[in-house]
Structure 1
């Protein structure tokens, strides 16, 4: 077993390849999760991010992503669960008081965390993974004058502006035009799966981006938003449905989305459940005992 540090863009794809190779409905992360997060936040986090890989026979079997000073994300091949202890020990050497989020079904990770002195924080906010089969989808409908369509390559600035408008309720969004350019150049982004509702005045009133894992035939909805002045018109539901239809046309059989599951923020899960997503396992935050 060999451990090494993150060395660049090629290693980013290795992170995604391990997720894709080991993905199942009990996995917390989808290839789109890391594509979105690292595209929009990598430049501003700088040395606050540390990533290490564990390789066996030249194949990556685990990685740990430390968002210093206080959080660990990790993926470990379930066929080699003992490696989880090494990833956690690496993180503890970097952040003694750090926490780690996993899905409750990832028992090979929960047992390693508990053995290392972590416990689940039942009072922490959590996310509930929702899943939908694409066999039967309703037809999206928008008000007269509004248009449903996917994004075009030259619309980076407009797409970024629409995202910021939808995500600035609690303060200005940090996502820049450059961030969204990185998103749209990241694998496996497809503009055919990046949908917007265009208002009569040209605003991108609502949007939904789906990341497609064609190996596992599953899409991840991340992110979705609707600008405050356009809410309560069914636009978020419509743009989700349009993107899901496009996902099915691309060959997917299901999609997943991960809204907050606790009652402090119920609106997002209500939206997805109205479309047909069904709740499943929840995330758990493990903290030092």
Structure 2
């Protein structure tokens, strides 16, 4: 049976999330994680459904795409299907044709596993490699050290503090208390934790959200930030260690995160928290 692309309804998001969970394993090429879907859920379930695309064969989901932006599609592919020619050709056709309703016209980007055949097909058609990203990983088979600062698990009562730290960590952030509640209501958040680190005065100075994909699978950090007025004091390392501890408690086999290669400060923070850089990844893009 041919590959079929679908924009799932709200009720169909569960199938996409289950597929993403099933495809995570240690040693795999980094690709879209259920936590990425969970983080996007802050925009609401309807908008999340509108941003998701699935590709199926014989009723089984074999690829999932998330439109992080109108010009950026992040794609996960079932590990055993990443070199499947029929799927790769269908993916390449769908992302290359604006009338298919996946990506807009002009310059657009696709993130897909580095070894996936679809990348090669797109590059043969004139797509180019973008700037490098650095994935980092910390194994969680051993207990994680104490972060050395007070760390609180965020619930509804702390949502305002959590979102305030986010906005003070990232210029242009639109993370509000309302959006935290939308994210927390999403199915992926059942296996997630938001944490805030506090200084000696009790101020919230750093925050992290971590996402488990299930027992024995890699968990994701998305995102981590330090309040701009409290940087340079080790809080990034501390909250990252706290996030790794939380993922281990959730049953994750490892903690993973990716950051742009030019962000040397972020790479240094994650490395100081016990994360090991992995081979770089690159999106592919179609020049405008």
Q: Distance in 2 between matches of 1:283 and 1:21?
A: 22
Which residue of the other structure, out of 113, 127, 146, is the alignment partner of 2:122?
113
Return the offset for 1:256. 0.4
Deviations 1:189-211 (A, max 9, x none): 25873211134555321111110
2:55 corresponds to 1:54: yes
User: Which secondary structure state, in structure 2, belongs to the residue aligned with residue 213 of structure 1?
Assistant: coil
Q: Distance in 2 between matches of 1:43 and 1:9?
A: 7
Show the counterpart of 2:144: 137
Q: Distance in 2 between matches of 1:42 and 1:162?
A: 21
Q: Distance in 1 between matches of 2:5 and 2:181?
A: 29
Gaps of at least 5 residues in structure 2 are 99-103
Structure 1's 115 and 254: CA in aligned 2 closer, same or farther, altered over 3 A? same
Kindly report the root-mean-square deviation, in angstroms, between the aligned alpha carbons of the 2 structures: 2.7
**How many positions carry a matched residue from both structures?**
274
- C-alpha contact (below 8 Å) 2:194/2:207 kept by paired residues: yes
State the TM-score, normalizing by the size of structure 1. Answer: 0.83
Q: Distance in 1 between matches of 2:191 and 2:216?
A: 20
Q: Distance in 1 between matches of 2:4 and 2:117?
A: 20
Deviations 1:145-194 (A, max 9, x none): xx3221123322222122212223xxx42222221112222233258732
Show the counterpart of 1:91: 95
Return the offset for 1:77. 2.3
Show the counterpart of 2:269: 271
Show the counterpart of 1:218: 218
Structure 1, 127-136 or 90-99: larger mean CA deviation? 90-99
- C-alpha contact (below 8 Å) 1:3/1:52 kept by paired residues: no
2:110 corresponds to 1:100: yes
Show the counterpart of 2:168: 165
Deviations 1:60-109 (A, max 9, x none): 112334466522222222433221221221121113532212343x3333
User: Which secondary structure state, in structure 2, belongs to the residue aligned with residue 281 of structure 1?
Assistant: coil
The 5-angstrom pairing of residues 15-94 of structure 1 reads: 15-24=16-25, 25-36=28-39, 38-41=40-43, 51-66=52-67, 69-80=70-81, 81-82=84-85, 83-94=87-98
Return the offset for 1:239. 1.6
